[in-house]
Each structure stands twice: as structure tokens, then as C-alpha cells.
Amino acid sequence: MSTEKDFVKEICSRDVDFSQWYIDVVRKAELADYAPVRGCMVIRPYGYTIWELVRDALDDEIKATGHQNAYFPLLIPESFLQKEADHVEGFAPQVGWVTAGGNEELEERLALRPTSEAIICEMYSKWIRSWRDLPVMINQWANVIRWEKVTRLFLRTTEFLWQEGHTAHETREEAEEEALKMLDVYDDVLRSVMAIPAYKGIKTEREKFPGAEQTYTVEALMPDGRALQAGTSHNLGQHFAKVFNITYLDRNDEQSYVYQTSWGVTTRLIGALVMVHGDDYGLKLPPRCAPYQVVIVPIIYEESKSGILEKCNEILNELRGAGVRVHLDDRDGYTPGWKFNEWELRGVPLRLEFGPKDLEKGSVLTVRRDTREKQPIPLDDLNRELGELLDRIQVDMLEAATKYTVDHTTTITDRAQFLLTFKGRPGIVRAPWCRSGACEGKMQEETGATIRFLKLEPESAAGEKCVGCGEDAEHWAYFAKAY
């Protein structure tokens, strides 16, 4: 029989060891665990439900913007990857290979997809014949294999889940519009569902996706001062189309190459969710992506047990009927205090406590996970007030995370101060840059920080000196140490 002393073992404080705190929360909140295969993870039901909620919200927006879901093979012939030199070089260290089938050696090695441009482009070259076939707007939900040297649950694993969109268009303008539109979709889901603020920007030549003309990114700031690339959208231009001969008969009856995009987010979003909102008590989940938005904890004494449980079940059914994801924790052998701690650890946005005094008053006590505020609500008003309270929690969590991001984004123009600042993890630093790739690389060597993005609308830094080399600066760049 469990007691409060058997409850979740101590979680390391975020301030003492952020990395250990993160692993403690992911495992003890039962989001994921280590798999027997090095670098792989098992996503447990509670963690997978969070992924499903985020996935479904994103899938709805993807479909609303005209895309259809499909599925492409996990195995990719080596010859397909070899067609695109930059693409292969970018992924070569991470590719896993299948060399035998059963007891027979394969004539050609098969790659376990690190990404699907090669296999999808091969199929598009067969499917697209006329301008009437365009645009092609396909997305797939799949798994990906990348042989990572250093792994961390959700943030970087050998196998992970993602979606990858791949579109083909008649014009460069259409492809550019598509890439930016999907960046907006990612930003909207991050903010409206996960309560995570992010910067939208463009990657430098040095940081862009191999084979892309432009890579756009949404970058979120974590509480340890590191940035996390939450999603990317790529304008591929005609690069892959020319490599894979994706041509079509255009409106002038001439053969033309398509313009393409690709874009994706992964299960690392769950890692971002843990870090952005969590505290020393565990998870804090925004209501829109919480497996349980509400947990009901009965305060039971033997003489009133049946009446309390009967009313709790009425509340449960009423809330379910209103579309609330709600759970009644009526387990025997656990004290209310034990249950309070467990559901705080697991980040349930709102706890309802209901005991004999509440039954007498005709009310229920609500406790917010994000602020720990307590508020009684009359049972007659429960549906309305609870809905309003969950909406308020969602908004408040985004505002709190936004304030942190704004407060930890600073502008530095002095080189010495820039170097000194990055001896720690200062968050995101806006600084003038000359746009030289060599200078960018040197700054990374000196500080461990990279340029996470440039603003979509270029910010001229005319009159400033580059913090890397001291030459005239061209643009403001946003630097951070990153995951």
C-alpha cells in the first residue's frame, strides 16, 4: 500500500541542475523513458497524449491550409540520397543503413530516413506531368532515424516522431508564400495550444537546411537561457526539382521545373513544453494540450464517503458532457495530499477538491497549477466558471512565458561585452553582424553561441560595428546557445 512517503522521489531543483531537473520531470511525470536501444525512447501514454493533442491541433491547421496527408517509405535507396551532394553531406554522419534482408546482403544499401526529400522527390517526378497537377500539397506524419552521438529524452533522440510537409508549385512566389504561411501555422500552434512564445526568423546561409534556398525558423527561449529550434520551413527553390528531374508541361506548353518547399516539427516540442512551463514541483501544462484539464480529488471521511463520491461522479459526468478532459482520482490507499502532489507533478492545470464542507456549501474548491491560487466555485455555476478559468490559465501561461522571453532578450553592441556575456547563458542577444560566414563561425568558436535567426524584415545595423570582427555591420542578428 502506497503512502505519501512512497510518493514521487525528490525532483532536482531547476536552479541546481537544470538538465537533471528536466530528466527527472520527464521520467517521474511518466512522459517517456529510456528504451533498450541506445539513444531511443519509449513515449509513455501520458506523454503520447500530449503529442496527440498538439499533433491533432497542427493537423487541423495543415488540412485547413489545403494540404493532404500521405505516407512514404522509411527505407530510402542510397542512390536516391547520393543524387544531392549538399543534402547527403548534411545528413551523412547521422544516417543509419540497412545492409541485409533476412540472410541475404542487399545489392544496394537502404537508408533509414533522416528526412524524406529524396524519396518524395522521386515520386513527384513520376506524378507531376502538367501545370494542372500543381500545386502538390502533401504532408506526412512519420518517424525519423538520425544516429545522434549525444541524446536527451524528446530533445534529441535516435528515433523521433514528426510531420514533414512537401509541396510543389508553379512559381517561386507561390513557394515563398507557402514556406512563410507554414511558419505562421507553427507559430500559431505554439502560442495558442502550447502557450509557448517564439521568434519567427530566417536562418543564415551557414545554418540553413542542406539544399534549401532559404530556411525559416521559429525559435523559443528556454529557462536555462538556451534557444530551441521549435520548427523550420524551407523554400527549396528548384534545387531538388533539377536533381530529381521534376518537370511539367507549363501553361506555355514548355517543360519547366517545379518550385518546392518542405517544413516540419518534431516531438522535441514536448521537451520545450516541459522546460518553458515547468517548475520544481514538476510539469505545468496549458489546458489546451493537457491530457487531463481537470482532476477531481475527493476529500473522504468514512461516514460521508458514499455521498462525496456520488457527487464527485456527478461533477465528472457534467464536465465530460461539457467537453472537459477530466479525471476523478477515487483511488483507495492514497491520501488527498499524496494525490495533490502527484497531479501537481503531472501538471494538470486545475484541481478540484471536494469534501463534506463543500457538499454542505454546494461548491467546489479549485486550485490552479500555474499560480497555486485557490477559489471556491458554486456547483450551479461550475461549467461556465470552469471554462472561463481554463481559458484564463491558457492566456496567463502564455503571458508569463512571453514576459520571460522579452526580459531575457538583450541588445549588445560592444564586442568585449558580447564575449563576456556569453561566458554564461544570457538568453537571446541581439547584436550587429557583418553578414560574413567566416565571422559567424569565429564567433561560434569564441562563445559557443550561434546566430539563431535574422528577422524576416531585415533590420539594418548601419552605423554599428560587427561584434565579431569590428568591421561595418549590415544587420542585427540574434545569437544564443542552443539545444
pLDDT digits (tens, 9 = 90+) for 252-304: 999 999 999 999 999 999 999 999 999 999 999 999 999 999 999 999 888 77
Residue 76 in domain:
yes
If asked whether residues 297 and 260 sit together in one domain, one would say no
Residue 377 in domain:
yes
For residue 428, give its domain range: 409-480
Per-residue pLDDT of the chain (483 residues), as tens digits, is: 444 444 445 799 999 999 999 999 999 999 999 999 999 999 999 999 999 999 999 999 999 999 999 999 999 999 998 887 666 677 788 899 999 999 999 999 999 999 999 999 999 999 999 999 999 999 999 999 999 889 999 999 999 999 999 999 999 999 999 999 999 999 999 999 999 999 999 999 999 998 899 999 999 999 999 999 999 999 999 999 999 999 999 999 999 999 999 999 999 999 999 999 999 999 999 999 999 999 999 998 887 788 999 999 999 999 999 999 999 999 999 999 999 999 999 999 999 999 999 999 999 999 999 999 999 999 999 999 999 999 999 999 999 999 999 999 999 999 999 999 999 989 999 999 999 999 999 999 999 999 999 999 989 999 999 999 999 999 999 999 999
Residue 156 in domain:
yes
If asked whether residues 113 and 212 sit together in one domain, one would say yes
If asked whether residues 329 and 233 sit together in one domain, one would say no
Name the amino acid, one letter, at 254: E
If asked whether residues 314 and 353 sit together in one domain, one would say yes
CATH assignment at residue 318: 3.40.50.800
Give percent helix, percent strand, percent coil of the chain, each to the nearest 5: 40, 30, 35
If asked whether residues 66 and 214 sit together in one domain, one would say yes
If asked whether residues 64 and 114 sit together in one domain, one would say yes
Query: Into how many domains does the chain fold?
Result: 3
Closest by alpha carbon to 145, among 76, 226, 240, 46? 76
- Residue 321, number of CB atoms within 10 A of its CB: 9
Domain boundary residue, one of 218, 250, 277 = 277
Residue 165 in domain:
yes
Residue 117 in domain:
yes
If asked whether residues 118 and 231 sit together in one domain, one would say yes
If asked whether residues 153 and 256 sit together in one domain, one would say yes
Closest by alpha carbon to 473, among 456, 452, 459, 483? 459
Give the residues across from 249 on adjacent strands. Answer: 130, 255
Residue 444 in domain:
yes
Domain boundary residue, one of 244, 277, 310 = 277
What is the tens place of the pLDDT at every residue in 94-116?
A: 899 999 999 999 999 999 999 99
If asked whether residues 310 and 267 sit together in one domain, one would say no
CATH assignment at residue 476: 3.30.110.30
CATH assignment at residue 124: 3.30.930.10
Cα distances from 240 to residues 80, 84, 246, 260, in angstroms, run: 11, 7, 8, 8
If asked whether residues 386 and 420 sit together in one domain, one would say no
Domain boundary residue, one of 363, 391, 419 = 391
434 CB-near residues (< 8 Å, 6+ apart): 466, 468, 469, 471, 472, 473, 474
Residue 6 in domain:
no
